[in-house]
Structure 1
């Protein structure tokens, strides 16, 4: 006899009903919606060290440069499928999965994607052949009906919920199934309801035919294969077969004879691809609807809470009051941890209120909406429930466990051994650790974490380097993600250990790279990970690429990570002699190329490169090498002689030279006087003025000679020139601090101008007009600052 149990994946009520049904039916064969590719792994569930949540990982074999196709099939303790598997293992009942094998599903997806791409390529080659008549076609009536059909396909329970007076399909299903113990009758009712929904969709699509989408085509293959597996079970002589599948599929699995021919034809000649499978640990957080794996559980913590009480039920009678008490107590405890008050008296009042609400609403067990109303009213004094507290309870984050004996890949074994050696834990909640790199054990731990990160495993995230300015501390955030097992599987191509895989992987990336800045970043990763064996390969590649790049901006971007890596040397006990030589070579090449390069820059590029000159000086300062600093000063002197370069950049170079004591005040005054002289264009002088004085108000405040030169230049501008250059002057003044701006305003207002010998008479009236204009523009800057 065939018993089809339509369930909701990961539903505690569905799991409870399945357990009750199997206790009554006592099946000799159980067929479960799942990948037949993993049938061989079911036998491993006899191992006592399994702790849900766990998942089946099925993927195509890892290949270099190609991301594997992968699917996860998660199981929580309250999943009906998990309870059915446990029943089969304990009762020694034949059990297997019956969905469309992924060896076909993956191959079909690859085939369809290739067809779509071919169609796009053909369309691109042919061009857009749409005619005006095509564009003027009025929308068909079907467009109004199809959205309703697609909505039902996406959430078939929604239509039933609306008919029952519910606005939310989740709450409807909770009340109907997840909070009720059922065996046979409810599964029959679910099958009938789903059959009605499917008939409705069939009628709509027949009335308004549309092209099938990929999901619909895959569904047809899946259901045909399910029926094929059921027929095989019957042919093998099983007489009491239980089928556990999603409720949507249940109605179409009964009629096995009428569909035999069509199913055989549909499944004939399906493409195949190779599949690998394994059990991996999973997390409750990945069961949520937003996780991307289609588990569809909005509140994992609540479902786990219900399942715990379902298991404690005596003679099938669930203690509804205990469900409320325990949940409210957990919430009160979470509130106290968050620093809010929640007394025992409030919990008692809340329990009494929830029981009254249940009586008024004609239900026995509360749902989340009931509990949220009571929590907000009683425990949280009518205020909104704190989201962090709520999320913590609803997620109930925890990581499952798979027996170590079942781990087969050497790289996975090496990873777990090192996790154990370094006393780390694979936990789902975020955990922060601080490492002191002066300690040998912490240094090795840091290198291991950097290797894991380099391989792309989503576990360790470097959050900072401590509160101090030294580089001897690292702060890591650890949170194990289930998909990391897939990345480890893929990285087994590169080696049998974390260190060897990291070394081979990074060397492969280096050989493939043609970006000198990226190679420099790989070098930094190599040093952080302690992969000294790969350093020679990286430096050779860097030297090869750097000779091909003449752009100082590229070389500067390359120097930054290299110099940062050199700073790790003393703390990380690295031998960086070769790296030091490469850095010196790049720095020398960079400085020698600067004079000719700067002559080629336009105004926009010059402003950007000016900041890079400052960065170069700071990087050279970190190296603390007198020879390089001396070469920098000589290079700066050459840049000062290039007066043909763009005005902003030349003014910035004079500013750097003054800051670094390469120029004294008389020399600076000479450059300023030349840049603002009548022989220069007003645009050049204004750009030079901005490059020299941005953030440098103290030069004008404390150096009267410089102030006088600026004063004479501004006073000598014609009215039209002054108005045209006013935005630049105002932008420069806006970079001054409030205190500096105020001093300059007072200096203008009090006309504190030191007199110098002049060859022409001063036009006092004209000078006064200029000073009044400057005051009018500087005063708002000071006030706003």
Structure 2
């Protein structure tokens, strides 16, 4: 029996290509079937051949040599590779994958092995679409290939199409490596000479593999010895497979193509119309029989106009859009392009797309091998009484209790790994909180199995996997002090003391050179919280954390004194950094032997520096006031009144007050003279000046909670002949403040235009 080579170039996840593969297998009856897929799975093909329910995917992870990588090889029922695998095996052929393993450097950065890779054929696709009057690659594909065609005609059309694409887009270095590897497998199969060889590969590679000769063996590269490379089967979903969800998949709208695979091109449109109408009606959208008839008639008319013998996906979507959407569209229809739809897409169109995407999630056979992480996770959930039940339940934890602290660590590890079903509702997430209680919602999640299997790339146990996830984040954080501080907090929540020490070391190296006050402030805020409140790993009062706080505090004061810009608007994050500096001085100065005199001198210089941003000048005053720097409250209030008067310009006053209120909110509420002075200043402003100052004033007064706003209103109302009891009513505003501001600006513009054309009398203070 001689060897013959039969190349089937395909588009991934195409029902037409899957049918061609099935036809070729029946017609050729091959001895060998080689499939574009990870060759390191060849010894484990039995796992794939169990009675699963697609969609599913091979999840591959790699960690080593200073790099980490994760990728998916997805299959659905109509994937040509899945059909080749299952039907080839059923026919008695020797079935093997022939592509490089996912851990190979050629796949670095490739998240999905079966992505379209439009970079290869964008120009050719554009020319074909322009020539045929079609919008987008997917409409072109349906027009050329998903219409009913005889297998021979389809094969020839695909061959010409892929050769044209390949001719315009030569392979890059990664493709060259992959093709050399695949070619070696094809030639080894031909060299055996024991029967026909069918090769199923992406059409871009088909022209190269068709030139295969013979060689006795294919070399398989082993993974580096110091690396961790794992591959497991995971359930997948239509949502994840859909190009409209962001996956660069072979085909969008998987539910439509599943219908095309199940029922054929003539019956599939009717099934999708029923699914779409059902979904819309379930969501309260009125879809009448007349709408349905109109959509069908429009789709059929478009199909005839486009030369289609059956309705394509685009025909059907265009018909639905034309009959169901009554208003003008703000953005182009999503199916005219690729990728995630615009946020401005009509909500009804969004529901139609979701109907075409489908809700199907795959299921693995119960005999599918499970990674150690899954067993370890289930063990910890059972041991801690955290297993999800039929109904969602709330778990309350006291972090100072050791047994409950261990439950918290398990839950935080799941959170860090992104495992669904474990939602933290309350707890000390922000470093300004001193609460040591947590509440979590534990619920069953359909994606739990897939997410745990995918997380197994980080490690074989729950503790190791969560730590591995943060270790990669540590590599990615670089010199960003705020991100390092976040990682430090996370490591304490996980109970990862070794990692915490590494993060502390990285922070210590960066703290003395951090160039950004905002990032330093965020880091200082977290470190201060840990030093004051952490009981999870003993950071409370820690010498190491305390030394880091002292270094960051000294650097922060230096950065604060370098910031200039007398016209700079208030920056809420910069003010937050000043709060962190003030709180460090307030809560840690004696214990950490901070130089209080130096810090107060910096605040005094900033308050008196005319070149400093107004908000930072106000923050410096607020810091001094809240640190009891002045001899008594009367002196402090007098200093505040003087400094506020000195900045009484519309372009600067609101920013100054934002800084002052952010740092000394409680003190300001108890300062009647300052309140009255501000009331006089606001009352004397022209409408134009008020509009200039308004955005910063809104920020400034936004720092007061409702009760304190009411106290200020009670102090001011009697000066305007109003009852203090009316204060609460003033806090309720039915109108949107932005609308009020826009209306005032419009009124001002109308008056300006009227004056310009002499249609109204000039006011006494108007310029000539």
Residue 540 of structure 2 corresponds to which residue in structure 1? 579
Q: Identify which of 215, 238, 258 aligns with 1:284.
A: 238
Equivalent-residue separation in structure 2 for 1:344 and 1:238 (angstroms): 60
**Shift, 1:85, TM fit:** 0.7
**Shift, 1:360, TM fit:** 7.2
Whether contact under 8 Å (2:7, 2:198) holds in the other structure is: yes
**Within-5 A mapping of 1:196-595:** 201=167, 215-216=171-172, 219=175, 222-223=178-179, 226-251=182-207, 253-254=209-210, 256=212, 274=224, 276=229, 278-281=231-234, 282-289=236-243, 294-310=248-264, 320=266, 322-343=267-288, 346-347=291-292, 350-351=295-296, 354=299, 363-381=308-326, 386-403=348-365, 406-407=368-369, 409-415=371-377, 422-423=386-387, 436-437=396-397, 447-454=409-416, 465=426, 472-473=438-439, 488-492=455-459, 496-502=460-466, 520-529=485-494, 531=495, 537=501, 557-562=522-527, 564=529, 574=535, 579-580=540-541
Equivalent-residue separation in structure 2 for 1:83 and 1:599 (angstroms): 65
Equivalent-residue separation in structure 2 for 1:249 and 1:551 (angstroms): 49
**Shift, 1:79, TM fit:** 0.5
Whether contact under 8 Å (2:16, 2:146) holds in the other structure is: yes
Query: In the alignment, is residue 96 of structure 1 matched against residue 96 of structure 2?
Result: yes
- Which consecutive residues of structure 2, in runs of 5 or more, have no partner in the other structure? 110-117, 330-345, 682-688, 702-708, 721-743, 749-768
Query: In the alignment, is residue 183 of structure 1 matched against residue 151 of structure 2?
Result: yes
**Shift, 1:516, TM fit:** 7.5
**Shift, 1:98, TM fit:** 3.4
Whether contact under 8 Å (2:35, 2:200) holds in the other structure is: yes
Q: Specify whether residues 397 and 643 from structure 1 end up closer, same or farther in structure 2 by C-alpha distance, changes over 3 A only.
A: closer
Equivalent-residue separation in structure 1 for 2:211 and 2:603 (angstroms): 90
Equivalent-residue separation in structure 2 for 1:293 and 1:642 (angstroms): 55
Q: For residues 353-386 of structure 1, give each alpha carbon's deviation from its aligned partner in whole angstroms, at most 9, with x where no partner exists.
A: 6567667766453112221233234444576662
**Within-5 A mapping of 1:596-611:** none
Equivalent-residue separation in structure 1 for 2:212 and 2:621 (angstroms): 88
Query: In the alignment, is residue 27 of structure 1 matched against residue 30 of structure 2?
Result: yes
Residue 106 of structure 1 corresponds to which residue in structure 2? 105
Residue 57 of structure 2 corresponds to which residue in structure 1? 55
Whether contact under 8 Å (1:658, 1:664) holds in the other structure is: no
Q: Specify whether residues 564 and 96 from structure 1 end up closer, same or farther in structure 2 by C-alpha distance, changes over 3 A only.
A: same
Residue 74 of structure 2 corresponds to which residue in structure 1? 74
Query: TM-score of the superposition, structure 2-length normalised?
Result: 0.62
SS of 2:95 mapped into structure 1: strand
Equivalent-residue separation in structure 1 for 2:288 and 2:365 (angstroms): 42
Whether contact under 8 Å (1:595, 1:639) holds in the other structure is: no
Equivalent-residue separation in structure 1 for 2:558 and 2:315 (angstroms): 71
SS of 1:97 mapped into structure 2: strand
Q: For residues 756-779 of structure 1, give each alpha carbon's deviation from its aligned partner in whole angstroms, at most 9, with x where no partner exists.
A: xxxxxxxxxxxxxxxxxxxxxxxx
**Shift, 1:7, TM fit:** 2.6
Q: For residues 202-232 of structure 1, give each alpha carbon's deviation from its aligned partner in whole angstroms, at most 9, with x where no partner exists.
A: 8xxxxxxxxx96x345555655555543443
Equivalent-residue separation in structure 1 for 2:260 and 2:40 (angstroms): 32
SS of 1:239 mapped into structure 2: coil
Whether contact under 8 Å (2:481, 2:523) holds in the other structure is: yes
Q: Specify whether residues 688 and 591 from structure 1 end up closer, same or farther in structure 2 by C-alpha distance, changes over 3 A only.
A: farther
Whether contact under 8 Å (1:88, 1:94) holds in the other structure is: yes
Whether contact under 8 Å (2:106, 2:177) holds in the other structure is: no
**Shift, 1:47, TM fit:** 2.2
Equivalent-residue separation in structure 2 for 1:464 and 1:27 (angstroms): 58
Q: Identify which of 6, 10, 14 aligns with 1:11.
A: 14
Whether contact under 8 Å (1:287, 1:295) holds in the other structure is: yes
Equivalent-residue separation in structure 2 for 1:252 and 1:228 (angstroms): 12
**Shift, 1:330, TM fit:** 1.3
Residue 759 of structure 2 corresponds to which residue in structure 1? none
CA RMSD of aligned residues (A): 6.4
More helix by share: 1
Whether contact under 8 Å (1:29, 1:95) holds in the other structure is: yes
Residue 120 of structure 1 corresponds to which residue in structure 2? none
Residue 739 of structure 2 corresponds to which residue in structure 1? none
Q: Specify whether residues 184 and 404 from structure 1 end up closer, same or farther in structure 2 by C-alpha distance, changes over 3 A only.
A: same
Equivalent-residue separation in structure 1 for 2:127 and 2:515 (angstroms): 64
**Shift, 1:498, TM fit:** 1.2
SS of 2:37 mapped into structure 1: coil
**Within-5 A mapping of 1:543-692:** 557-562=522-527, 564=529, 574=535, 579-580=540-541, 612-615=577-580, 646=609, 655=622, 664=632, 666-668=634-636, 671=639
Whether contact under 8 Å (1:566, 1:576) holds in the other structure is: no
**Shift, 1:560, TM fit:** 2.0
Query: In the alignment, is residue 43 of structure 1 matched against residue 42 of structure 2?
Result: no
Q: For residues 53-102 of structure 1, give each alpha carbon's deviation from its aligned partner in whole angstroms, at most 9, with x where no partner exists.
A: 2333456x5226x2235554322111011011111233332112334x35
Equivalent-residue separation in structure 1 for 2:107 and 2:634 (angstroms): 79
Select between 665-674 and 80-89 the one with higher mean Cα deviation.
Answer: 665-674
Q: Specify whether residues 380 and 96 from structure 1 end up closer, same or farther in structure 2 by C-alpha distance, changes over 3 A only.
A: same
Residue 115 of structure 1 corresponds to which residue in structure 2? none
SS of 1:34 mapped into structure 2: strand
Equivalent-residue separation in structure 2 for 1:378 and 1:673 (angstroms): 66
Equivalent-residue separation in structure 1 for 2:164 and 2:480 (angstroms): 61
**Shift, 1:340, TM fit:** 1.3
**Shift, 1:11, TM fit:** 0.6
Whether contact under 8 Å (2:622, 2:659) holds in the other structure is: no
Q: For residues 133-190 of structure 1, give each alpha carbon's deviation from its aligned partner in whole angstroms, at most 9, with x where no partner exists.
A: xxxxxxxxxxxxxxxxx99844756666666675655334324432326434432443
SS of 1:278 mapped into structure 2: strand
Q: Specify whether residues 448 and 305 from structure 1 end up closer, same or farther in structure 2 by C-alpha distance, changes over 3 A only.
A: farther
SS of 2:58 mapped into structure 1: strand
Task: Count residues in correspondence.
Answer: 646
Q: For residues 546-602 of structure 1, give each alpha carbon's deviation from its aligned partner in whole angstroms, at most 9, with x where no partner exists.
A: 997999979865552245558987xxxx56775156699679969997999799667
